Chain A
Amino acid sequence: MSKSHNKKRNVGIIYELLLRYISNNLINDDKKSAQSALRILEKRFHKSTEIYREFRLFNALAKSTVSDSAVAAAILTEAKGAARRADKGALNKEKSLLIRDINHILNDSSFYYRRVPEYKTYATIQSLLNDWRKLDEADLLKMVELEGKMVEWLLSEKTDESLDENIDPNVDTLVVRIMTEKINSKYKNKLNEDQRNIIKSYVFSLSSDNGKSISQKLDNMREDTVNQLYKFKKMTDNKYILEKIDRVENSILEVSIDNVDDAVISKFLVISQLQNEIKEAINELR
């Protein structure tokens, strides 16, 4: 990687660092610090800014996957053109103001030292954007080397097991990213896979189909749980459990899924847990 790469002027890295700063502070209940960073993000990455335009270009290179090297080359050509059309002077000035805001408003000495998983790729992308703008002054050999790396990256499979893999274009990306970070870091070891799927479906269903798919999913889960309870009732001889099982079944059936909100989801996280335990119990009793 080029020694001239400056992570403070790398839009992708700075954006990731700001997201991490916000989510860490939300988890630690420091809403004030999180809001300060959010304000910086909204102001400096506003749609009217050169930084935002560079960030979009950056994202197109960082997130895209293509199956053909000719398509990858075409993307690089388009990206190069877009990078060169940017107002270089305004972009540099905006980046300086962004760094100033981070240093003065957040005043966190560890801000730039948080880990960014795709650091090397992000550094390559930013170096390439910078080199493309140098036009005739660019080091051609270095530029070709970086473009080669970029083609490899565009052709590679990007795996992301976090909640944002199903991101919907209508959802506020920032909100989803912050929520994803928060859930993944806080509940990684506490929620089982089914519970994480419920949350994921909830978030994306609300934006894409007005909650229809999550209602359907919850209805199916409820039906399955009630069936499992019925089987378990016939198999167990635990009086204490048998005493409560009908009331539990009724409580589950009484949960309204007409308007799915956080409270309903919270109840279904419990039902999901019950469903898993009952299935285990049935297997053990067989």
Chain B
Amino acid sequence: MSSGNLKLLTEWMPLAYTQKTLQESLAINNGKILLRGVLQKCDTLNQNGRIYPRSILEREVMNYQKFIKENRALGECDHPDSSVVELKNVSHIIRDAFLEGDSVVGTVELLNTPAGKILQSLVESGVTLGISSRGVGSTISEGNAQIVQEDFQLICFDMVSEPSTPGAFMLTEGKNVDLNDLNKIFNRSDKIDRIFNDILSW
């Protein structure tokens, strides 16, 4: 299906950790930092006034499994002004993601890339970080909320600083995304897998 009026949509969630959980992670995971937390919420009005219906997030988490299994669930440190993940800015990788109640819960591994090392030192210093989903899709107004529509496609989760004000990450928001951008993000097998998941859900 081709893209209509798809826009870049990003949402922020705090990523909670303590020095104790950090030290445990380093000890258990051979010196790697793995953080576990809520990546996204469904059926809940978020900071940007959007609601992600459960069925849509459930589907997107399912489609994201291919990225996780193929070690391609990469994310960047801060949101770029683009829908495409730039390898030079990659800081972490998502190791698992699943739906638990109304939350998408996941494990984030901080990588030893330049951007990943910045994140590691921030975490070791106890800086509050957030995790932010990056996706493309359209929304429809319903009352005071924007309801994310069926055409939503999750791209990745980025690590970002805590927004001081609601909508702090609105700079890249609403940018139109064209078919070429989507083709850079999703390869042929991703597209086929997405349709496979759709068929297997009948």
Nearest to B140 among chain A residues (CB) is A29
From known contacts A240-B66, A274-B192, infer whether A189 and B2 are also in contact, taking CB-CB under 8 Å. Answer: yes
| A160 lies within 8 A of chain B by Cβ | no
Q: Is the interface of B mostly helix, strand, loop or mixed?
A: helix
| B70 lies within 8 A of chain A by Cβ | yes
Report yes or no: A273 in contact with B193, Cβ–Cβ below 8 A: no
| A244, B192: Cα distance in complex, Å | 11
Report yes or no: B193 in contact with A244, Cβ–Cβ below 8 A: yes
B contact residues around A270 at 8 Å (CB): 195, 198-199
| A190 lies within 8 A of chain B by Cβ | yes
| A41, B3: Cα distance in complex, Å | 35
B contact residues around A267 at 8 Å (CB): 199, 202
Task: Pick from A6-14, A197-205, A275-283 the stretch touching chain B.
Answer: A275-283
Specify which of B1, B196, B199 is in contact with A241 (CB 8 Å cutoff).
B196
Report yes or no: B2 in contact with A241, Cβ–Cβ below 8 A: no
| A241, B190: Cα distance in complex, Å | 9
A63 to chain B, nearest CB (A): 31
Binary per-residue interface labels of chain B (94-122) against chain A in the complex, 1 for a CB within 8 Å, 0 otherwise: 00000000000000000000000000000
Report yes or no: A192 in contact with B2, Cβ–Cβ below 8 A: yes
Report yes or no: A189 in contact with B189, Cβ–Cβ below 8 A: no
Which chain A residues (240-255) contact chain B, with CB distance < 8 Å? 240-241, 244-245, 247-248, 251-252, 255
Report the interface size class on chain A: 20 to 34
B contact residues around A252 at 8 Å (CB): 199
Report yes or no: A248 in contact with B2, Cβ–Cβ below 8 A: no
| B126 lies within 8 A of chain A by Cβ | no
Binary per-residue interface labels of chain B (1-36) against chain A in the complex, 1 for a CB within 8 Å, 0 otherwise: 111100000000000000000000000000000000
Report yes or no: A277 in contact with B199, Cβ–Cβ below 8 A: no
Q: Is the interface of A mostly helix, strand, loop or mixed?
A: helix
| A7, B69: Cα distance in complex, Å | 63
Chain B residues close to A by CB (< 8 Å): 1-4, 66, 69-70, 151, 188-189, 191-193, 195-196, 198-200, 202
Report yes or no: A244 in contact with B1, Cβ–Cβ below 8 A: no
B177 to chain A, nearest CB (A): 13
Specify which of A189, A190, A251 is in contact with B199 (CB 8 Å cutoff).
A251
| A271 lies within 8 A of chain B by Cβ | yes
Report yes or no: B1 in contact with A192, Cβ–Cβ below 8 A: yes
B contact residues around A245 at 8 Å (CB): 196
Report yes or no: A240 in contact with B69, Cβ–Cβ below 8 A: yes
| A284 lies within 8 A of chain B by Cβ | yes
* Contact sample, A vs B, 6 pairs, CB 8 Å cutoff: A190-B1, A190-B151, A248-B200, A273-B195, A277-B191, A278-B192
| A241, B196: Cα distance in complex, Å | 8
| A189, B189: Cα distance in complex, Å | 23
Report yes or no: B200 in contact with A244, Cβ–Cβ below 8 A: yes
Q: Choose among B1, B2, B198 the residue with the greatest number of A CB atoms under 10 Å from its CB.
A: B1
B contact residues around A274 at 8 Å (CB): 192, 195-196, 199
| A238 lies within 8 A of chain B by Cβ | yes
| A244, B200: Cα distance in complex, Å | 9
Nearest to B201 among chain A residues (CB) is A251
Report yes or no: A236 in contact with B1, Cβ–Cβ below 8 A: no
A166 to chain B, nearest CB (A): 24
| A191 lies within 8 A of chain B by Cβ | yes
Report yes or no: A190 in contact with B66, Cβ–Cβ below 8 A: no
